[in-house]
Amino acid sequence: MTPSPEPAPNGCPDCRQCQQRLAALEAEVQRLREALQRQGSAPSCVEPRAVRVHRADAAHGLAGPHLRRREATPPSAAPPGGASHPSPDAPRAPHVAAAALPPDCQHAIEGVVFTPLLRHGDERGWLMELFRQDELHPAHYPQMGYVSETRPGVVRGPHEHVEQTDLFVFAGPGEFRLYLWDARSGSPTHGRYLAVELGEQRPCAVLVPPGVVHAYKNVGTKPGWVLNLPNRLYRGAGRRQAVDEIRHEDRPESPYRVA
């Protein structure tokens, strides 16, 4: 009877074949890396993920003679306290349905742009894009970002900017009513007023150009968050400039009021 081969120290009976295949794979990767370096791409210090995975598998006896891929661990079998990555075939949690914007909202005020936000959900939670550079005019690219918390019933504003464009994100938590007034004398929608509810149930990003007075109120029952990604730095570079803000809430004679 032919004796069974002695298992390798790492527990893999096919370790020699694994190492031979891994060496061939590394040689091919090295050839590609050198070709990319000649073209000015791909840093030589970064080991490709495929090699790292196969190297780890071989070292722990997880790769057979064909360097088989590890099976995805179902979430229920994940080690305690460890993060699990869902397999491509794992069932997805349904997207959270968002309430539609009022039909007259999008073109109510010249230059104000409403972008509904899609909440992508799965068994881990959800993800939401806030903005995309390819969907913004270069003049509106954010220069900074901040988040504020507003208690139920509290109003922020009305404010107005001379040069700054705001990009507000109402994505939750909380529900808000956004108020807008077009105060620009040369605007085709001058004098127009709009109020719309946005937030957790209707996630949305809103681009508000200079000269459009704006305010928002927490109309929910819990503290709410609002993000702003303006195209100007607050008080300019190094915080050495005057604040670009007209605070209508501090002007008793201002016609812009939130009831």
Q: Per residue of the chain (259 residues), what is the pLDDT tens digit? A: 545 555 555 455 556 665 666 666 666 656 666 655 555 544 444 444 444 444 444 444 443 333 333 333 344 444 444 444 444 454 444 445 567 888 888 889 999 999 999 999 999 988 999 988 898 999 999 999 999 999 999 999 999 999 999 999 999 999 999 999 999 999 999 999 999 999 999 999 999 999 999 999 999 999 999 999 999 999 899 999 999 999 999 999 999 999 8
Q: What is the domain extent for residue 24?
A: 15-70
Residue 257 covered by a domain: no
CA dihedral 115, 118, 119, 120 (to 10 degrees): -150
Pair (135, 65) in one structural domain = no
Asked if residue 134 and residue 58 are part of one domain, the reply reads no
Q: Is 215 helix (H, G, I), strand (E, B) or coil?
A: strand
Is the domain of 39 the same as that of 135? no
How many H helices and E strands in the chain?
Answer: 2, 12
Q: How many domains does the chain have?
A: 2
Query: Residue 169's CB: how many other CB atoms inside 10 A?
Result: 22
| 167 inside domain | yes
- 242 part of a folded domain: yes
Q: b/e for 191-224, b at 16 or more Cβ within 10 A?
A: eeebebbbbbebbbbbbbbbbbbbbbbbebeeeb
Radius of gyration, CA atoms only, the chain: 28
64 and 118 share a domain?
A: no
Q: Both 42 and 150 in a single domain?
A: no
**Whole-model pTM above 0.75?**
no
Tell me, yes or no, whether 22 and 135 share the same domain: no
CATH of the domain at 166: 2.60.120.10
The reported pLDDT for the residue numbered 103 is 80
Domain's final residue, options 70, 86, 105: 70
- What pLDDT does 148 receive? 98
What pLDDT, on a 0 to 100 scale, did the predictor assign at position 229?
A: 96
